Chain A
Amino acid sequence: MTEAGEAVRTAERVARDSYGRLVAFLAARTRDVAGAEDALSEAFAAALRMWPTDGVPDNPDAWLLTVARRRQTDAIRRRQTRKAGEEHVMLMADEIEAAAAEGEAVPDRRLALMFACAHPAIERGMRAPLILQTILGMTAEDISAAFLIPPATMGQRLVRAKTRIKDAGIPFAVPETEDLPERLEAVLDAIYAAYTKGWSEIGDAGVPEIAGEAIWLGRLLVGLLPAEPEAKGMLALMLYAEARRPARRDGKGAYVPLEEQDISLWDDSQIGFAEALLREANKAGPSGRYQIEAAIQSAHTARRATGIDNWHAVVALYDHLLARTHSPVVVLNRAVALAERDGPADALAAIAPLADDKRMQTYQPYWAALGHLLGRTGDRQRAIEALTVAIGLTTDGAVRAYLHGRIVALQDG
């Protein structure tokens, strides 16, 4: 990124940071997320427009408040009184002034807002979009592009979810200790879902840097919940993937699998940060799903860096993960590692039960892995069949080309 691009990015970050804190603060007081957003939306748009060129103000919160207040006054002058917005702005003014008098910042209620957005009463698929909108101020249009939902539909669903937060009485609070692990998992899942959307859309230049936003949310969460090992585990997991991003495609844009990636293209600083996070997480206590998955990525990184076979350790980590989740996706990933340790026949036996799982019918990685394993056992015919289905389920042109190449190799082999 250029220096100027960097400055724009920094200004945008500060604007989003301040906006998210103010929305969270207001929403936590009033439970009216949409009202809080309304009160700040014009000021936030002005900040995104002006700060990158004019520079970031000393007190971003106060700047946003001043602009929000002015817009409010204008609206009243035009007799378009917006009652809810007015109340929000007044509430915000009191708080910012009180905080300034104490020499403090406005209390950060973003964690409470994240828990509200990822509440079990909110439909699962809308949790990540809600967090992206309320905490980061992303537009429905930007979010819809990554989640492949029409913008108007995404907008309607976001409005509905916010109304639900208000009407259903969803609390703005960090859950009690006994509920925390489960509820935190929902927050982590939402942020990770945002990351994987950004990740899978890697070839799409037009999709906003949603993966980067998700990592930023991960950092924010680790900062707000420093004692939670799973938050660190998830951030580490995202960073391992992010560090390898430049190596996922070769010079011609073709897909490169992990084992064939040029490791000199990996981002060592991100890997170093991920390793440090994982060490801290492991020190803190029991392992959760994200910690184990991050540990698996750490093992892959180490194997490629040293050339020392560690598939035993990888399979052992998957065993651990499987005992916790029983997810067919874990069964599948474990089998791929198992093939490296014990050979493709054992791996095929391990995934045999998945053939009856309906979810696997349209799960591209299942067919790709099945084809890969069958190919290694020499069952060319069935391997080609499975790879064909995998191609039919692939939307990424580079992956499609890679799978076509595998079929050709099997036909020639």
Chain B
Amino acid sequence: MRYMMLIHHDDAAMAKADQKALWTDYAAFNEALSKAEGGSSGERLEPAAGGTIVRSNDVLDGPYADTKEQFAGYFFVEAADLEEAVAWAKRCPSSRYGSIEIRPVYVPKGDWK
């Protein structure tokens, strides 16, 4: 199963963390992810305040939802089941400063890409 792992951050909690250790852990995590089959480090997003919302023809400033934690990035894993995906979520350094949301990717019958 392919899972999209959505990272939600509490920026304040992240800012308090030892930055050097955090990003060293992130580098190690990405390294481990790249060794795993089907795993890929995704992208980190600019803070949610820099987002833009489009609804019908209206264009608004972000963020979309005013929540304590904001969507901050994502990665993908290929896992046999949810348990394996959870193991990856636990390894992700962001799980200590926010939440990791695991969403199974919809697999269409035909490949459109």
How far, in whole Å, are A365 and B32 apart by their CA atoms in the complex? 13
Chain A's nearest CB lies how many Å from the CB of B83?
A: 6
B25 beta carbon closer than 8 Å to chain A: yes
Q: Which residues of A contact B28 (CB under 8 A)?
A: 388-392
The 8 A CB mask of A368-407 against B (1 = contact, 0 = none) is: 0000000000000000010011111111000010001000
| Contact (Cβ within 8 A) B83 A395 | no
The 8 A CB mask of B75-104 against A (1 = contact, 0 = none) is: 000000111001100110000000000000
B61 beta carbon closer than 8 Å to chain A: no
| Contact (Cβ within 8 A) A393 B91 | yes
B30: nearest chain-A partner, CB-CB: A392
Which of A149, A361, A362, A388 has the most B CB atoms < 10 Å from its CB?
A362
How far, in whole Å, are A393 and B31 apart by their CA atoms in the complex? 9
| Contact (Cβ within 8 A) A148 B91 | no
Chain B's nearest CB lies how many Å from the CB of A368?
A: 12
A125 beta carbon closer than 8 Å to chain B: yes
The 8 A CB mask of A329-354 against B (1 = contact, 0 = none) is: 00000000000000000000000000
How far, in whole Å, are A252 and B74 apart by their CA atoms in the complex? 34
A361-B37, A391-B25 known; A148 vs B90 contact (CB < 8 Å) = yes
Those of B13-32 within 8 Å (CB) of chain A: 21, 24-25, 27-32
> Looking at chain A, what size class is its interface with the partner chain?
20 to 34
A153-B82, A361-B37, A362-B36 known; A392 vs B31 contact (CB < 8 Å) = yes
- The 8 Å CB contact of A404, one of B24, B90, B91, is B24
How far, in whole Å, are A367 and B91 apart by their CA atoms in the complex? 15
A195 beta carbon closer than 8 Å to chain B: no
The 8 A CB mask of B27-63 against A (1 = contact, 0 = none) is: 1111111011100000000000000000000000000
Q: Which residues of B contact A391 (CB under 8 A)?
A: 24-25, 28-29, 32
| Contact (Cβ within 8 A) B90 A395 | yes
| Contact (Cβ within 8 A) B37 A389 | no
Q: Which residues of B contact A361 (CB under 8 A)?
A: 35-37
Which of B21, B82, B91 has the most A CB atoms < 10 Å from its CB?
B91
Q: Which residues of B contact A147 (CB under 8 A)?
A: 83
A358 beta carbon closer than 8 Å to chain B: yes
Chain A's nearest CB lies how many Å from the CB of B51?
A: 29
Q: Which residues of B contact A394 (CB under 8 A)?
A: 91
Number of interface residues of B (CB under 8 A): 20
| Contact (Cβ within 8 A) A392 B32 | yes
Chain B's nearest CB lies how many Å from the CB of A411?
A: 12
A391: nearest chain-B partner, CB-CB: B28
B79: nearest chain-A partner, CB-CB: A362
Chain A's nearest CB lies how many Å from the CB of B26?
A: 9
How far, in whole Å, are A237 and B12 apart by their CA atoms in the complex? 45
Chain B's nearest CB lies how many Å from the CB of A390?
A: 8
How far, in whole Å, are A92 and B32 apart by their CA atoms in the complex? 54
The 8 A CB mask of A113-157 against B (1 = contact, 0 = none) is: 000000000000100000000000000000000011100010000
- The 8 Å CB contact of A392, one of B21, B37, B87, B91, is B91
How far, in whole Å, are A153 and B33 apart by their CA atoms in the complex? 26
Chain A's nearest CB lies how many Å from the CB of B56?
A: 36
Chain A's nearest CB lies how many Å from the CB of B92?
A: 9
B84: nearest chain-A partner, CB-CB: A362
Chain B's nearest CB lies how many Å from the CB of A395?
A: 5
Q: Which residues of B contact A367 (CB under 8 A)?
A: 32
How far, in whole Å, are A29 and B79 apart by their CA atoms in the complex? 40
Q: Which residues of B contact A404 (CB under 8 A)?
A: 21, 24
How far, in whole Å, are A388 and B81 apart by their CA atoms in the complex? 25
How far, in whole Å, are A395 and B91 apart by their CA atoms in the complex? 5
How far, in whole Å, are A392 and B27 apart by their CA atoms in the complex? 8
B95: nearest chain-A partner, CB-CB: A395
| Contact (Cβ within 8 A) A149 B82 | yes
Q: Which residues of A contact B30 (CB under 8 A)?
A: 392
How far, in whole Å, are A404 and B93 apart by their CA atoms in the complex? 15
How far, in whole Å, are A166 and B100 apart by their CA atoms in the complex? 37
A148-B90, A389-B32 provided; 14 other pairs, C-beta below 8 A? A125-B81, A149-B86, A362-B36, A362-B87, A388-B31, A389-B35, A390-B28, A391-B25, A392-B25, A392-B28, A392-B30, A393-B91, A394-B91, A395-B91
User: Chain B: residues with CB nearer than 8 A to chain A?
Assistant: 21, 24-25, 27-33, 35-37, 81-83, 86-87, 90-91
User: Chain A: residues with CB nearer than 8 A to chain B?
Assistant: 125, 147-149, 153, 358, 361-362, 367, 385, 388-395, 400, 404
23 interchain pairs, CB-CB under 8 A: A125-B83, A148-B87, A149-B82, A149-B86, A358-B37, A361-B35, A362-B35, A362-B36, A385-B31, A390-B28, A391-B28, A391-B29, A391-B32, A392-B25, A392-B30, A392-B31, A392-B33, A393-B32, A393-B91, A394-B91, A395-B87, A395-B90, A395-B91
4 interchain residue pairs of minimum CB distance: A392-B32, A392-B28, A391-B28, A392-B29
